């Protein structure tokens, strides 16, 4: 059997491509880290309105975001299974809030350094004291619902970083004649990696 020059060239190219494709496939070791978990909790701090079973301050958090050092933002949803943030209300006067165990967000996060959190919050219009005194809330003239909290936060691969955000009630709610004037004061009070 005699092959023509064109057939030999085609056969040579075919064999070359098969050998090259088999030998050229490699698994490259990628050093992509596993995510960490960022958990945000709220702690209520107040000397003027201590914890009481009948006190209520419903609040809404419409956004919680971790801000990376390159200004990229990571949304922090309610829990690890959430796909978006639902604007549920939280009781800032609950026992969990006074004990700093009120979880307001949890998400998988790329490991790295973060400069802090951005929070958008607002009260839902009233404070209830002793179960029967309903006091309306008005925004102070210079109040902002968007709050930037800047404290360095580190998220490590495979670990949970717990950030406790304190809500200073005494600075946030100033008593007027018949209302509370609201100007939110939040700060990051503790960081823990587990």
pLDDT tens, position by position, 146-173? 999 999 999 999 999 999 999 999 999 9
pLDDT at 21: 63
Tokens 């350094």 belong to which residue? 113
pLDDT at 3: 58
pLDDT at 2: 56
Q: Which of 47-56, 123-132, 142-151, 153-162 has the highest mean pLDDT?
A: 153-162
pLDDT at 37: 95
In the chain, % of residues over pLDDT 90: 53
pLDDT at 134: 93
pLDDT at 135: 93
d(CA 151, CA 115): 6
| DSSP sequence for 130-163 | TTTEEEEEEE-TT--SEEEEEEEEEE-TT-EEEE
Which tens digit of pLDDT belongs to each residue from 87-121?
678 899 999 999 999 999 999 999 999 999 999 98
**pTM, whole model, 2 decimals?**
0.78
Band (pLDDT 50/70/90 cuts) for residue 80 is confident
| pLDDT of 24 higher than 60 | no
Domains of the chain, residue spans: 34-193
| pLDDT of 65 higher than 80 | yes
């Amino acid at each position: 059997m005699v092959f023509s020059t064109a057939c030999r060239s085609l056969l040579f190219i075919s064999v070359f491509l098969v050998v090259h494709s088999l030998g050229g496939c490699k698994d490259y070791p990628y050093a992509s880290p596993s995510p960490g978990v960022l958990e945000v909790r709220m702690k209520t701090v107040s000397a003027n309105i201590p914890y009481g079973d009948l006190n209520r301050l419903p609040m809404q958090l419409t956004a919680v975001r971790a801000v990376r050092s390159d200004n990229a933002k990571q949304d922090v949803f309610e829990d690890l299974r959430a796909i978006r943030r639902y604007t549920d209300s939280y009781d800032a006067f609950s026992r969990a809030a006074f004990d700093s165990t009120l979880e307001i967000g949890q998400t998988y996060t790329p490991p790295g350094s973060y400069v802090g959190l951005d929070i958008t919050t607002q009260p839902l219009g009233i404070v209830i004291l002793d179960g029967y005194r309903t006091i309306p809330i008005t925004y102070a003239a210079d109040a902002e619902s968007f709050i930037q909290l800047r404290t360095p936060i580190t998220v490590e691969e495979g670990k949970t970083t717990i950030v406790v955000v304190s809500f200073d009630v005494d600075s946030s709610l100033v008593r007027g004649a018949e209302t509370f004037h609201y100007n939110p004061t939040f700060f990051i009070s503790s960081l823990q990696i587990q």
